[in-house]
Chain A
Amino acid sequence: MASKTSRPGRTLGVFFLVLAIAYGLVALGGSWKPELGLDLQGGTRIMMIAKGHPSAEAMKEARNIIDQRVNGSGVTAAKVTTQGGNQIVVEIPGKSRDDLVNEVSQTAQLRFRLVACQNTCATSSTSSGTSGVTGGTGTTGGTGTTGGSSTGAQRAGLGFDHKATKKAKAKMQQKAAAATPSATASAAPSASASPSASATPSTSGTPDQKNDVSVDDAVAFMNNPPADEVAKFDAYTCPTSGAPNVTDDPSQPLITCDAQGQKYLLSPAIIEGTQVSDASAGIPQTGVNYVVTLDFHGAGRKAFADATGAIAGTNQLFAIVLDGQVISAATADSRISGSAEISGNFTQDTATALANNLKFGALPVAFDKENGISHTTVGPSLAGNQLSAGLWAGAIGLLLVMLYCLIYYRGLGLVVISSLIIAGASTYAMVLLLSKGAGFTLDLPGIAGLIVAVGITADSFIVYFERIRDEMRDGKSMRVAVDAGWVRARSTCLAADGVSVLAALILYIFGAGDVRGFAFALGLSTIIDLVVFFFFTHPMIKWLSHFKFFNRGHRLSGLDAEALGIDRITVGGRA
């Protein structure tokens, strides 16, 4: 008998110890409020579906790059995650940053700018003109040939200081390329500078659309950079490692670096990466080295022609800027109005990487701009309302369930209430721990899941109590009925909760966004329900069964003869 009495007490003790440890961990974590989801604290969520079937690595890389983009644009605490194999979700809590949608979803934040200063602003570029870019269709490309489709390019050699294309592949690129001379063409096509001036109709200095920075303005900036920009440029030092953390605003000048740590003062963007219609890597028929062929859409083609025309033969550079970092800076020898060809000391890998960068930007995946992007902004007002609605619903639901159980089960109802409170406390501790440790955020569906789980949790107790009552109706005394009922209720509850957990698991795996919060909350509270049921409710009932109040069937215990609908209950083996 002694061992029997001590067992429920020990289980309860251990259970409370574990709960206390959990709260101790929470206290160590230091935050007593769970991380709230966007719909409860306001914010912006951008969800994008990648086209096709990107590999997991590509998605991971895309995620990292988007992360850099978002955080680079001055947003703190943004969260970028991948979901379901082909989705990327950007969450920016607390702020309405709808304007970020374009920037984030843009596959290529690739821009062409003119270089006003490189390293120092005193001299014009110290260009180590190295590799060549040839205007032409690409098939006939080569430094010595004329471009096939280009109108103005007799010999469209572009001095091209080809630098690292991407951080990952930076190692492959060496300055070894620096030997190829581009100076050969420097004298020839100076005439092509004139059409650029005449060809730019837009004279307004204020760019109302991002691509409308006129080439003229950019050229003017390049030739005579404003003093304040120069001052800023002089003050700027490149980070020793990693990408420069700059905001790449196309309408503003940009001070940035390349992977080798050379710094640049760049004009406002003249061509957007989106205007690159095609880029590919390959070995031209006449050549032996890899080249990257590049083509533009209409407006971009014209701007590129004008820009190359403006800097042709002047040893001035234009830069290809990818996500705020210069990946290439090149001279041009003539106006290139057709497709361009970048040649240099490429290997297959580096050429392909550059071509992909030009085509997709840094992102190895593309998003369907028209249809594949969803973005949601939750205003703080609505978020506040939703939070209070969720909390109210939870409070009302919990209270009503407690009330019902108290009326129906009386004394046992107290067990239900204490179990629900304990389950609530455990759940809250787990939510806090998970939001600290695993980045779990509590959103509105999550709250709904927790509330719905109240029903599931209470149901375990109902199954158990009804079983105890049934056993007592069969003539067992309460102490015996508690054990006999437990054995049967246990298997029923395990099966039923198993279904719930299974449902939650599948919802979690196959759900997107909101659904996962719900599924997670449901699964979590179902598991906690089982734990509480096994390690709190059952020992509690066992312990209570030693009290006369319950085992003698007091009128308020919920186990009295009247409540059971029988004549008299069995006590101590005697009916």
Chain B
Amino acid sequence: MSKFTRLGNQLYTGKKSIDFVGRRWTWYAISAVVIVAAIVGLSVRGLNMSLEFTGGTQYTVTVSGSADQPLADKVRTSVGNTGVEAAADPTVTTAGAHNLIIQIKSVSTTENNTVLKAIKSTTGATTDDISQDHVGASWGKEVATKAVQGLIVFLIAVTVFIAMYTRQWKMSVAALVALAHDVIITVGIYALVGFEVSPATVTGFLTILGFSLYDTVVVFDKIKENTKNLRATKRSFAAACNLAVNQTLVRSINTSIVALIPVAAILWVSAVQLGTSTLKDLALALFVGMAAGAYSSIFIATPLFVQLKSREKDVVDSERRAAQRAKQADPYAHVPSFAEGMEVDDNGEPPAEANAPEEHAFRGRTAPQTRGPVRDSGAAGRPQPSRQTRSKRGK
């Protein structure tokens, strides 16, 4: 664990840095491939809509013995032979250790009783053990309409919220693109794998949008902080953003782990105990979406934001300054500066924390600046070198 926290420190100071911003085309390419796969999956296979959307009847039977395939086959035959037209071709699946799920088309009350009788006689279940869902077709439509409405309203609200929060339209755009990225990928995974989409899935799905944004907000918060005073930080805009992502990386990983632990617990317990249920659908959507959300806030949102900003004057200036500084880099930068009690190691890296120099972009000694810092001066109308008096400089 301490290695991880040590990594946290190195990421924080910039000693170790993963180039999220610079290698953006790699991340874009990865996302593009996944998104294309998602869209192809969606258009070819479509979504596996659950009974709540399509309408029909579903029985969940809790059997006392184990719910296995032979029993499911027996139930399928007996339900199919009831003579009820809607139940002519039932779908029977096992769910968890003790549950059977039987799906048929919509039935009337009398037909329902016939089917129930067949189920009871085959499985030995009592009325208490059987749960029924009867869903009318237009009810499903209503649920779907509501879901779409919710999605649209949420996206609008989120756009407004993000715009108000960031006050930079480019940041909003980046956050929304990351959001869309998550949405497409999650939907695509559902289409490709063929997971069932139920209203609970949609709920989970809408929650993901919140989560994805939550992650992005935290990262952008740090970016705002790091780039507030771009001149003073002596970093290029891209580097400052990259540092922000690296600094929040530990938090992002921790957050994702902590958020995924309960979801995984739900997923596991419900899959083992219940087979299929509201809980499982919800947890699955959350699981897929959270993973995508964590990825997009780091790999998509920030690089995209940097790219959108790359033409702005401030950013270009900072880029130029950084390039200039890099040119003037200390030729002895790789030579470690001496510290008291420093380990002497010929082939390894020098212990990084030994007297960490202030400018973290380079290792080792920091070259003294050739010129003093430059400050805007209102009086002169152009930047003036600002140099404090000799006594104040401590000479």
Contacts and interface: CB of A to CB of B under 8 A. Distances in A.
**Chain B facing A: main interface SS:** helix
For this complex, into which size category does the number of interface residues on chain A fall? 35 or more
A249 interface: no
Interface string B1-37: 1101111111011000000000000000000000000
B207 A452 contact: yes
A514 interface: yes
Given A372-B139, A462-B254, A565-B9, A398 B134 contact: no
B150 interface: yes
A404 interface: yes
A518 B282 contact: yes
Interface string B199-220: 1101100110111011001100
A292 interface: no
Contacts of A392: 269, 273
A116 B279 CA distance: 56
B66 to A, nearest CB: 14
Contacts of A407: 1
Contacts of B55: 371
Contacts of A79: none
B62 A385 contact: yes
Interface in B267-283: 268-270, 273-274, 277-279, 282-283
A515 interface: yes
Nearest to A383: B131
A393 B147 CA distance: 26
Contacts of A491: 221
A564 B2 CA distance: 8
B214 A565 contact: no
A436 interface: no
B335 to A, nearest CB: 20
A469 B248 CA distance: 12
A503 B62 contact: no
A506 B150 contact: yes
B131 to A, nearest CB: 5
B278 to A, nearest CB: 5
Contacts of B278: 39, 444-445, 448, 514
B2 A563 contact: yes
B8 A565 contact: yes
A383 B60 CA distance: 11
Interface centre among B135, B209, B214 (most CB of A within 10 A): B214
B192 interface: no
A384 to B, nearest CB: 9
Interface in A490-530: 491-492, 495-496, 498-500, 502-504, 506-507, 509-515, 518-519, 522
A29 interface: no
B10 A503 contact: no
B153 A371 contact: no
Contacts of B161: 498-499, 502
Given A39-B278, A385-B273, A389-B270, A503 B60 contact: no
B109 A564 contact: no
Contacts of A389: 269-270, 273-274, 277, 279
A379 B128 contact: yes
A185 to B, nearest CB: 42
Nearest to B267: A393
B184 to A, nearest CB: 19
Contacts of B1: 407-408
Nearest to B133: A376
B138 A377 contact: no
Interface in A56-109: 84, 87, 96, 98-99, 101-102
B250 interface: yes
B130 A374 contact: no
A499 B210 contact: yes
Contact of B134 (A39, A374, A385): A374
Contacts of B277: 386, 389, 444
Given A374-B139, A382-B129, 11 more contacts: A98-B112, A374-B136, A379-B130, A389-B279, A401-B261, A404-B257, A462-B258, A463-B255, A498-B165, A504-B210, A506-B154
Interface of B: 1-2, 4-10, 12-13, 52, 55, 60, 62, 98-99, 106, 109, 112, 127-139, 141-143, 146-147, 149-150, 153-154, 157-158, 161, 165, 199-200, 202-203, 206-207, 209-211, 213-214, 217-218, 221, 225, 247-248, 250-251, 254-255, 257-266, 268-270, 273-274, 277-279, 282-283, 286, 353-354
Query: Top 6 closest A-B pairs, CB basis?
Result: A565-B9, A397-B262, A503-B210, A455-B259, A510-B150, A397-B265
Interface of A: 39, 42, 47, 49, 84, 87, 96, 98-99, 101-102, 368, 370-383, 385-386, 388-390, 392-394, 396-398, 400-401, 404-405, 407-408, 444-445, 447-448, 451-452, 454-456, 458-459, 462-463, 466, 469-470, 473, 488, 491-492, 495-496, 498-500, 502-504, 506-507, 509-515, 518-519, 522, 562-567
